[in-house]
Amino acid sequence: QVQLVESGGGSVQAGGSLKLSCAAPRDIMSFKYMGWFRQAPGEEREGVAAISRRGSTLVAVSVSGRFSISRVNAINTLYLQMNSLKPEDSGMYYCAALDGGRWYSNPPLVESAYDNWGQGTQVTVSS
């Protein structure tokens, strides 16, 4: 199990922006995929954005045009830039990484695809 550490969450008003970070303890290029998930109270965890080792990205329809995923390999950090935030974006945001396993046709946004998780960072968007 790889220890991923998220940061950057907080409280923001609707329309605002936040940038989440996920620090990995080793070269992030060693992972097949990395992604961001979120979970609101009483709801299932949902995929938000993912990136492959090769740099392909996929963003969920619900956040398309507002969120983007990126990484800086030199500092082993994954990012989620969140703009035009809405109250429904509130929840715990988790970083995930796939160490082994299969390749997918697109970066996966399903929870079951990933085998390493962080503890999460809370995002609260007020109206």
Sign of the Cα torsion 20, 26, 27, 33 reads: negative
Report CA Rg, the chain. Answer: 13
pLDDT tops 90 at residue 114: yes
Give SS3 for 82.
Answer: strand
Q: What is the pLDDT of residue 1?
A: 84
Q: Is the dihedral of CA 106, 112, 116, 121 positive or negative?
A: positive
pLDDT at position 3 is: 93
pLDDT in tens, 3-53: 999 999 999 999 999 999 999 999 999 999 999 999 999 999 999 999 999
- Is the Cβ–Cβ distance between 119 and 5 less than 8 Å? yes
Q: pLDDT band at 98, cuts 50/70/90?
A: very high
Which of the two residues, 115 and 100, has the higher pLDDT score? 115
In sequence order, the β-bridge partners of residue 19 are: 81
User: What pLDDT score was predicted for residue 101?
Assistant: 79
